[in-house]
Chains A and B, each alone.
Chain A
Amino acid sequence: MKQEQGYKKFGMVIDLDKCTGCGACMVACMAENNVPFKQDETDKRLSITWMRVYKLTNGKPYPDTDICYLPRPCQHCEGHDGHSPCVSVCPATATDYDMATGIVSQIYTRCFGCRYCMAACPYHARYFNWWDPVWPDGMEKSLNPNVSVRTRGVVEKCSFCYHRYQLAREKAFVEERRDIEEGEYQTACTQACPSAAITFGDLNDPSHAVYELKKNPNAFRLLERLGTNTKIYYVSSREWVRRSGDNYLKHEPTGKVH
Chain B
Amino acid sequence: MKIDRRSFLSFVIGGAAGTALTPLPWKLTDDLSIWSQNWPWTPVPEGGEVTYVNSTCTLCPGGCGITVRKVEERVVKIEGMAGHPVNDGGICPLGLAGPQLLYGPYRVRTPLKRVGQRGQHQWAPISWEAALDEVTGKLTELRTKNEPQGLACITGDGRGTVYHLLARFLTAYGTPNLISAASAADTQGQALGRLTGIEGPVGHDLENSTYVLSFGAGLLEGWGTPARVFKANSARVDHGGKLIQVEARLSNTAAKADKWLPITPGSEADLALGLAAVIVSESLYKTDLIDDQNNGWDAFKAMLAETYNPEKVSGRTGLDKSIIVALAREFAKAEKPLAVCGRGRGQTPGSLAEALAVASLNALVGSIGRAGGLWTVAPETDTGWPEVETDAVATTAMAKGRIDGAAAQSPDRLHRFAPAVIEAKPYPLQMLLVVEANPYYGLADSQSVKTAWEKIPYIVSMSSFMDETAQNADLVLPLHTYLERYEDVAGSAGFTRPYIGLVRPAAKPQCDSLHPGDVILKLAKALGDSVAAAFAWDDYDTCLEETLGDKWQVLKEQGYWVDENFQPPGSDGAFKTASGRLDFAAVAAKNEPVALQGEEGAFPLVLIPYDSMRLAGNAIESPPFLAKTVENTVLKGHESFVEINPKTAQKLGVGEGARAELATPRGKAVVRVHLYDGIRPDVVAIARNLGHTGNGQYKFLAGKGVNANTLIAPVEDPVSGLDAAWGIRAKISRI
Contacts and interface: CB of A to CB of B under 8 A. Distances in A.
Given A18-B233, A149-B45, A32 B632 contact: no
Given A37-B628, A142-B102, A149-B43, A65 B678 contact: yes
Of the four ranges (under 10, 10 to 19, 20 to 34, 35 or more), the interface on chain A belongs to: 35 or more
B97 interface: yes
A195 B43 contact: no
Contact of A20 (B78, B220, B262): B220
Contacts of A253: none
B627 to A, nearest CB: 6
Contacts of A136: 104-105, 698
A153 interface: yes
Contacts of B233: 18, 20, 195
B624 interface: yes
Contacts of A108: 37
Nearest to A41: B628
A55 B631 contact: yes
Of the four ranges (under 10, 10 to 19, 20 to 34, 35 or more), the interface on chain B belongs to: 35 or more
Nearest to B256: A20
Nearest to B99: A142
Interface stretch (B53-61, B68-76, B274-282, B387-395): B68-76
Given A17-B237, A22-B220, A27 B626 contact: yes
Nearest to A47: B628
B423 interface: no
Contacts of B43: 135, 140, 143, 149
Given A109-B34, A112-B29, A139-B100, A194 B44 contact: no
A151 B76 contact: no
B400 interface: no
Contacts of B626: 23, 27
Interface string A122-157: 000000000011011111111111000101111000
Q: Which of B37, B90, B637 has the most CB of A within 10 A?
A: B37
B255 A24 contact: no
A26 B628 contact: yes
A61 B625 contact: no
Nearest to B76: A144
A53 B74 CA distance: 29
A142 B93 contact: no
A63 B632 contact: no
Contacts of B38: 151
A20 B93 contact: no
A151 B637 contact: no
B631 A194 contact: no
Contacts of B34: 109
A37 B698 CA distance: 13
A27 B510 contact: no
B629 A142 contact: no
B148 interface: no
Interface in A104-119: 108-109, 112-113
A114 B429 CA distance: 64
Contacts of A59: 677
B89 interface: yes
Contacts of B30: 112
B75 A141 contact: yes
Contact of A40 (B92, B625, B637): B637
Contacts of B451: none
A109 B37 contact: yes
Contacts of B92: 22, 24, 194
Contacts of B220: 20, 22
Nearest to A23: B629
Nearest to A52: B629
Nearest to A34: B45
B83 interface: no
A39 interface: yes
Given A139-B105, A144-B76, A23 B632 contact: no
Contacts of B74: 141-142
Interface of B: 29-30, 33-34, 36-39, 41-48, 71, 74-80, 87, 89-93, 96-97, 99-100, 102-105, 220, 226-227, 230-231, 233-234, 237, 250, 252, 255-256, 260, 262, 510, 613-614, 624-632, 635-637, 645-647, 676-681, 698-700
6 contacts: A20-B252, A27-B626, A53-B629, A62-B677, A132-B39, A145-B76
Given A20-B230, A59-B677, A67-B678, 5 more contacts: A31-B78, A61-B646, A139-B100, A141-B103, A153-B33
